[in-house]
Amino acid sequence: MTPDDALTRYVTRLGDNALVLGQRMIELVAASPELEEELASANFSLDYIGQARMFYTCAGEREGAGRDEDDFAFLRPEHEYRNLLLVEQPNGHFGDSTVRAVLFESFYVLLLDALTHCSEGGVAEIAVRAIKEVRYHLKHSSQWLVRLGDGTEESHDRAQQSLDSLWRYTGEMFVADEVDAIVRDSFAGPDLEAIAGQWRHAVTAIVNAATLDMPDDGWMATGGKEGRHTEHFGYLLADLQIMQRTYPGQAW
Amino acid sequence: MTKQEWPLYEVFIRSKSGLSHRHAGSVHAADDEMALTNARDTYTRRNEGVSIWVVRSDRIVASDPAETSAFFEPAEDKIYRHPTFYDIPDEVDNL
Amino acid sequence: MYTQGLDQKGEAVGCASETPEQLAAFQARIDAEEKIEAKDWMPEAYRRTLIRQISQHAHSEIIGMQPEGNWLTRAPSLKRKAILLAKVQDEAGHGLYLYSAAETLGVSRDQMVADLLAGRAKYSSIFNYPTLTWADIGAIGWLVDGAAIMNQIPLCRCSYGPYARAMVRICKEESFHQRQGFEIMLTLCRGSDEQKAMAQDALSRFWWPSLMMFGPNDANSKHSAQSMKWKIKRFSNDELRQKFIDVTVPQAKFLGLEVPDDRLHLNEESGHYQHSDIDWQEFFDVIAGNGPCNSQRMAKRRKADDDGAWVREAAQAYAAKRAARDVA
Q: What is the average per-residue pLDDT within C42-46?
A: 95
How many Å apart are CA A130 and CA A119, to the nearest integer? Answer: 17
Supply the mean pLDDT for chain A.
97
Would you say residue B74 has pLDDT above 70? no
Supply the mean pLDDT for chain C.
93
Query: What pLDDT is stored for residue B40 in this prediction?
Result: 93
Give the burial string for A215-227 (b: 16+ CB within 10 Å, else e). eeeeeebbebbeb
Would you say residue A3 has pLDDT above 70? yes
Residues of B in contact with C309 (CB under 8 A): 3
Query: Contact B27/A36, CB-based, under 8 Å?
Result: yes
Would you say residue A236 has pLDDT above 80? yes
**What is the least distance, in Å, from the CA of C178 to any CA of chain A?**
17
Asked if the C-beta of B6 comes within 8 angstroms of chain C's C-beta atoms, the answer is yes
Which uninterrupted H or E stretch holds B54?
strand B51-56
Query: Contact B42/A36, CB-based, under 8 Å?
Result: yes
How many Å apart are CA A181 and CA A175, to the nearest integer? Answer: 10
Residue of A nearest to B30 (CA): A147
Asked if the C-beta of A40 comes within 8 angstroms of chain B's C-beta atoms, the answer is yes
B58 DSSP 8-state letter: G
Point out the least confidently predicted range of A191-195, A210-214, C4-8, C250-254.
Answer: C4-8
- Work out how many CB contacts closer than 8 A connect A with B: 25
Query: What pLDDT is stored for residue C265 in this prediction?
Result: 96
Residue C118 contacts residue C126 (beta carbons within 8 Å): no
Query: Contact A150/C318, CB-based, under 8 Å?
Result: yes
First to last CA, chain B: 67
- Give the residue from A35, A43, A70, A75 with the most C CB atoms within 10 Å of its CB, the best one to mutate: A35
Q: What is the average per-residue pLDDT within A35-62?
A: 97
Query: What pLDDT is stored for residue C9 in this prediction?
Result: 47
Residue A146 contacts residue C315 (beta carbons within 8 Å): no
**What is the least distance, in Å, from the CA of B20 to any CA of chain C?**
18
**Residue range A49-108, pLDDT digits in tens:** 999 999 999 999 999 999 999 999 999 999 999 999 999 999 999 999 999 999 999 999
Q: What is the average per-residue pLDDT within B52-73?
A: 82
Would you say residue C10 has pLDDT above 60? no
Identity of the residue in C41, C93, C319 whose CB atom sits nearest the CB atom of B42: C93
User: What is the percentage of chain C residues whose pLDDT exceeds 90?
Assistant: 87
Residues of C in contact with A158 (CB under 8 A): 310
Residue of A nearest to C188 (CA): A252
Query: Contact A155/C194, CB-based, under 8 Å?
Result: no
Query: What pLDDT is stored for residue A76 in this prediction?
Result: 98
Q: What is the average per-residue pLDDT within A206-223?
A: 97
**Residue range C195-213, pLDDT digits in tens:** 999 999 999 999 999 999 9
Query: Contact C39/B6, CB-based, under 8 Å?
Result: no
Would you say residue C11 has pLDDT above 50? no
User: What is the percentage of chain C residues whose pLDDT exceeds 70?
Assistant: 95
Instruction: Report phi then psi at A24, rounded to 5.
Output: -60, -40
User: What is the percentage of chain A residues whose pLDDT exceeds 70?
Assistant: 100
Residues of C with CB under 8 A from a CB of B: 37, 39-41, 89-90, 93, 96-97, 100-101, 103, 108-110, 114, 166, 169, 173, 309, 312, 315-316, 318-319, 322
Would you say residue A110 has pLDDT above 50? yes
Would you say residue B3 has pLDDT above 60? no
Provide the pLDDT confidence category of residue C271 given band limits of 50, 70 and 90: very high
- pTM (2 d.p.): 0.93
Chains with at least 3 CB pairs less than 8 angstroms from chain C: A, B
Q: What is the average per-residue pLDDT within A120-144?
A: 96
Query: Contact C300/A31, CB-based, under 8 Å?
Result: yes
Q: What is the average per-residue pLDDT within A207-225?
A: 97
What is chain A written as a DSSP string? --HHHHHHHHHHHHHHHHHHHHHHHHTTTT--SSHHHHHHHHHHHHHHHHHHHHHHHHHHHHHTSS--HHHHHHSS-GGG----HHHHS---SHHHHHHHHHHHHHHHHHHHHHHTT-SSHHHHHHHHHHHHHHHHHHHHHHHHHHHHHTS-HHHHHHHHHHHHHHGGGTGGGG---HHHHHHHHHH----HHHHHHHHHHHHHHHHHHTTPPPPPP------GGGT---THHHHHHHHHHHHHHHSTT---
Query: What pLDDT is stored for residue C1 in this prediction?
Result: 66
